[in-house]
Amino acid sequence: MTKLAKFSVLGGVMLTLGLGGCDTLLAPDAPPAPPLPKGPVSPAVTPVSSEDFPAIQVMNEHALFVQTLVALVPTHSERDLVKKFSSQLSDSYKKHQDAIMKLIQPLHIKLPSSLSVKDQQSVDHLSHLYGRSFDRAFLQILSHYFSVNDHKKIEILQKKGSTADVKTLAGSALQIEQDMQRKARDLVRY
């Protein structure tokens, strides 16, 4: 074989090897794989004791009842003071009920969203009254609504609740109750 033929065969072999991937041994390493994304992290849920739920349910029932009563005021009351008072109550109890829902939402617990039979009867009675008779009955109900037993449940929850959030919620419920009863009694006399 001639020299030229030898070089052409050798060049062809080298070209074939070069195109065939032999230079991959000399290529830089691939960059490292990115870290795996972290899975969904659930926020730490502070456990609420099952002993807290009866009082939380009482607070929820009170909030539902007061909000239902307050909804009657714009169409049934004639006094601006009663309307203003009911507006304040509505705001307070709406915030309070939102706090209750925020507290129990991570626990996937559903509280009743309807009134008890006794509360529904009170609402039905009030819905047939107008003017001063409505105002008087509305304020009387609010000033005497909370039973001693319910009040004690919430007081115990305020002192011995399982978390700081539960204790704070109970404290705000007692404060709203006291303010509501005091203002309702004042307006009855007025």
* Residue at 148 is within a domain: yes
Give the domain range for residue 73: 50-189
pLDDT band at 13 (very low <50, low <70, confident <90, very high): low
Q: Using an 8 Å Cβ cutoff, are 148 and 92 in contact?
A: no
How many folded domains does the chain comprise? 1
* Residue at 145 is within a domain: yes
* Residue at 68 is within a domain: yes
* Residue at 97 is within a domain: yes
Mean pLDDT over residues 36-58, rounded? 75
The residue written with tokens 């972290």 in the block is: 38
Q: What share of the chain is helix, strand, coil (3-state, %, to 5)?
A: 75, 0, 25
Mean pLDDT over residues 50-77, rounded? 92
Position 148, amino acid: V
Mean pLDDT rounded to a whole number for the chain: 84
Q: Using an 8 Å Cβ cutoff, are 111 and 60 in contact?
A: yes
pLDDT at 12: 61
Whole-number Cα distances in Å, 112 to 50, 58, 157: 16, 10, 20
pLDDT band at 96 (very low <50, low <70, confident <90, very high): very high
Say which CATH number the domain at 123 has: 1.20.1260.10
* Residue at 83 is within a domain: yes
Please list, in sequence order, all residues whose beta carbon lies within 8 angstroms of the beta carbon of residue 40, skipping any fewer than 6 positions away.
none
User: How far is residue 121 CA from its own chain's centroid?
Assistant: 29
The residue written with tokens 């607070």 in the block is: 59
* Residue at 27 is within a domain: no
Mean pLDDT over residues 2-16, rounded? 59
Q: Using an 8 Å Cβ cutoff, are 59 and 100 in contact?
A: yes
Give tens-digit pLDDT for 142-174: 988 778 888 899 999 999 998 999 999 999 999
* Residue at 151 is within a domain: yes
Q: Using an 8 Å Cβ cutoff, are 176 and 62 in contact?
A: no
* Residue at 164 is within a domain: yes
Q: What is the pTM of this model?
A: 0.72
Check pLDDT > 80 for residue 1.
no
